[in-house]
């Protein structure tokens, strides 16, 4: 039986001494480099320096350590082939059965907001990637370990049989190529952002996913489905994925969808804002002079639907807001997400409401816009990819198309309605008044049905409200309904072949109408 030999070169040294000791106790030799070799020697293990074995020193500030034919020949050689054995003997190569490598911490390095490009470049691993790929290619004879999480199972097999089984080597091979693919994807993504390569016109020919499992969720969309949330490489500071959970039970897939939708609404507003989300649609949203005012206005939008909702704020939650939430009779929320919580607010929400034990309190930090240019949605056999709709609206491009002009005090209300309707599932209609959502018609197959539902939800509050539509009116039939409800203004993209009829109907009822020129579908 061939003598067991292992190459060990790791940046993450967790558990490495235990693995190396198991190899040594199985009669194996350990070949290593730099800091790894020093750590193993300090633990009392015998180590052969790779530079001594190859006769070639580490050079270029450590950029070249293991890139040598005696190393790669020993990894890639197939001992069951006579020609390989002869070549290895001729070139004084020894076969290796274990390669344990984890890579320079590129992902962790670029996650720091102050990282310099030079430091990022120096944390691109070359030799480690090459070792991993070589060992994975020759998995029939070589085991490749890339994570401390893999060591315990390998140690068990070494203790039982003195080697690592073919079954495990095959599983490790798959993990290795996943690992190197993700590592390269993170590098490409980071430098694309630095040099604006991601802004190249058109769709990329190849799209690589570089996400890492951040947490396992309570369940998926339904309780019988698995669910997890993954983090995108290179994100600095807190994001929704890395938000701190300060209270409550484990989050679910739907919780994250609703938090994302809730934050998207309040992120747009400069004044204190609150949004109330149910099943990925807003049932309440408002801005106010203070956070408690915005909160109360938002919940007044549809108090019945707000039961069991997800709530977002664009300011740190203060004690006054928390007290209102905690003391309002009949109110129950699943999640509250905000940039942060004052200590007094946190104490109130953790102790006072009846639902204190279950409510998830999520501190998300800054409310910066998502950095990804692309939105990805899986479909059978692949994915749909589109540009993220993050461009701000140009209000100077809006046009009043009716005989009735928009009163100055109504323009901010129209803008607020337009901000909200983009986050409602199509066909989407919203009614807002006093910078507060008062009626929503969402996800209907007919736009006129969405108008009817929004008016019904608003009731008397529709009088004096503005109506926003995420896409053009295909017919003029919605305008009389809006007029009968007392709607004071309409904002929509325009672009229908029936625009002239729609405008004529608005003129008949003397309702000012604004065309934005841009559709806001959300499917």
3-state SS, one letter per residue, for 230-246 = EEECCCCCCCCCCCEEE
Active-site residue identified among 13, 68, 137, 356? 137
- Reading the block at residue 98, the tokens are 């274990």
In sequence order, what DSSP letters do the residues of 267-321 get, joined into one string?
Answer: HT-SS-EEEEEETTEEEEEEE-SSHHHHHHHHHHS-TTTTTTEEEEESS-B-HHH
Could you tell me if 417 and 500 lie in one domain? yes
Which one is catalytic: 13, 68, 219, 279? 279
Domain count, the chain: 3
Query: How far apart, in whole angstroms, are the C-alpha atoms of residue 281 and residue 210?
Result: 29
Instruction: Please choose, from the candidates 204, 249, 251, 209, the residue with its C-alpha nearest in 3D space to the C-alpha of residue 228.
Output: 251
Query: What pLDDT tens digit does each residue of the chain (523 aa) get?
Result: 578 899 998 888 899 999 999 999 888 899 988 888 899 999 999 888 888 887 777 777 667 767 788 888 888 888 888 888 888 888 888 889 999 998 877 777 777 778 787 777 877 878 888 899 999 999 989 999 999 999 999 999 898 898 889 999 999 999 999 888 888 887 877 777 776 654 566 777 777 777 778 889 999 889 899 999 888 765 555 688 889 999 999 999 999 999 999 999 999 899 999 999 999 999 999 999 999 999 999 999 999 999 999 999 999 999 999 999 998 878 899 999 999 999 999 999 998 888 888 899 999 988 766 666 778 888 888 888 888 877 778 888 899 999 999 998 899 999 999 999 999 999 999 999 999 999 999 999 999 999 999 999 999 999 999 999 999 999 999 999 999 999 999 999 999 999 999 999 999 999 999 999 999 888 8
Do 181 and 243 lie in one domain? The reply is no
Residue range 134-182, pLDDT digits in tens? 999 999 899 999 999 999 999 998 988 988 899 999 999 999 998 888 8
How far apart, in Å, are the Cα atoms of 372 and each of 60, 155, 309, 384?
Answer: 35, 41, 27, 15
Q: Please report, for the domain that includes residue 99, its CATH number.
A: 3.40.50.1380
Peptide bond into 427 cis (omega under 30): yes
Contact status, residue 319 vs residue 302, Cβ threshold 8 Å: no
Q: Are residues 353 and 403 in the same domain?
A: no
Same domain, 40 and 185: yes
Element (H, E) at 168: helix 166-194
Same domain? For 24 and 124 the reply is yes
DSSP 429-487: EEEESSSBEEEEE-S-SSHHHHHHHHHHHHGGGGTT-EEEESS--SSTTHHHHHHHHT-
Active site residue 137: yes
Count the helix, strand and coil residues of the chain and give each as a percent rounded to the nearest 5: 40, 20, 40
CB-side exposure of 517: number of CA atoms within 13 Å?
Answer: 9
Contacts of 134 (CB under 8 A, 6+ apart): 72, 75, 76, 99
d(CA 451, CA 476) in angstroms, rounded, equals: 12
Domain that holds residue 495: 398-515
The reply to whether 156 falls in a domain is yes
Domain harbouring 278, CATH code: 3.40.140.20
Work out the number of other CB atoms within 10 angstroms of the CB of residue 152: 12
Indicate whether 148 belongs to any domain: yes
In order, the DSSP letters of 53-78 are HHT---BTTTTBSS-SHHHHHHHH--
Cα–Cα distance for residue pair 40/30, rounded to 1 Å: 9
Residue 179 a catalytic site member: no
Residue 63 CB-half CA count within 13 A: 5
In which region does residue 405 sit, left (phi positive, over 0), alpha (psi from -120 to 50) or beta (all else)?
Answer: beta
Same domain, 128 and 251: no
Q: Indicate whether 358 and 405 sit together in one domain.
A: no
Same domain flag for 292 and 405: no
């Amino acid at each position: 039986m061939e003598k067991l030999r292992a190459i060990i070169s790791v940046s993450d040294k967790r558990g490495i001494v235990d693995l190396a000791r198991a190899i040594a106790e199985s009669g194996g030799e350990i070949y290593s480099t730099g800091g790894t070799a020093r750590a193993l020697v300090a633990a009392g293990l015998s180590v052969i320096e790779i530079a001594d074995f190859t006769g070639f020193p580490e050079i270029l500030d450590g950029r070249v350590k293991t890139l040598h034919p005696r190393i790669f020949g020993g990894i890639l050689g197939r001992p069951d082939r006579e020609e390989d054995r002869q070549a290895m003997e001729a070139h004084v190569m020894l076969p290796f059965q274990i390669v344990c490598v984890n890579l320079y911490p590129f992902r962790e390095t670029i996650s720091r907001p102050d990282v310099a490009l030079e430091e990022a470049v120096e944390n691109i691993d070359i030799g480690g990637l090459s070792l991993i790929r070589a060992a994975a290619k020759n998995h029939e004879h070589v085991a490749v370990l890339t994570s401390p999480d893999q060591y315990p199972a390998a140690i068990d097999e070494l203790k039982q049989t003195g080697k690592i089984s073919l079954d495990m080597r095959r599983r490790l091979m798959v993990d290795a190529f996943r690992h190197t693919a993700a590592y390269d994807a993170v590098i490409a993504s980071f430098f694309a952002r630095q040099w604006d390569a991601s802004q190249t016109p058109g769709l990329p020919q190849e799209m690589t996913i570089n996400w890492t499992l951040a947490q396992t969720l309570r369940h998926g969309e339904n309780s019988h489905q698995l669910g997890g949330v993954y983090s995108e490489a290179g994100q600095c500071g807190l994001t929704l994925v890395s938000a701190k959970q300060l209270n409550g039970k484990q989050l679910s897939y739907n919780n994250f969808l609703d938090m994302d939708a809730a934050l998207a609404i309040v992120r747009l507003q400069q004044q204190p804002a609150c949004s109330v989300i149910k099943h990925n649609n807003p049932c309440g949203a408002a801005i106010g002079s203070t956070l408690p005012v915005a909160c109360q206005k938002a919940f007044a939008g549809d108090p019945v639907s707000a039961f069991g909702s997800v709530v977002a704020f664009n300011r740190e939650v203060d004690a006054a807001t928390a007290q209102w939430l905690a003391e309002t009779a009949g109110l129950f929320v699943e999640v509250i997400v905000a940039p942060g919580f004052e200590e007094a607010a946190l104490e109130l929400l953790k102790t006072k409401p009846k639902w204190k034990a279950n409510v998830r309190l999520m501190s998300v930090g800054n409310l910066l816009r998502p950095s990804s240019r692309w939105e990805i949605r899986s479909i059978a056999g692949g994915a749909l990819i589109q540009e993220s709709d993050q461009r701000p609206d140009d209000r100077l491009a809006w046009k009043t198309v009716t005989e009735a002009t928009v009163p100055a005090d109504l323009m901010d209300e129209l803008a607020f309605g337009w901000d909200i309707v983009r986050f409602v599932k199509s066909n989407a209609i919203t009614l807002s008044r006093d910078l507060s959502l008062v009626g929503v018609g969402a996800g209907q197959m007919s736009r006129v049905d969405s108008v009817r539902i929004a008016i019904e939800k608003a009731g008397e509050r529709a009088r004096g409200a503005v109506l926003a539509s995420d896409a053009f009116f295909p017919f003029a039939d919605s305008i009389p309904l809006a007029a009968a409800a007392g709607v004071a203004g309409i904002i929509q993209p325009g672009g229908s072949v029936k625009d002239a009829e729609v405008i004529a109907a608005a003129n008949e009822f003397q309702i000012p109408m604004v065309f934005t020129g841009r559709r806001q579908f959300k499917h």
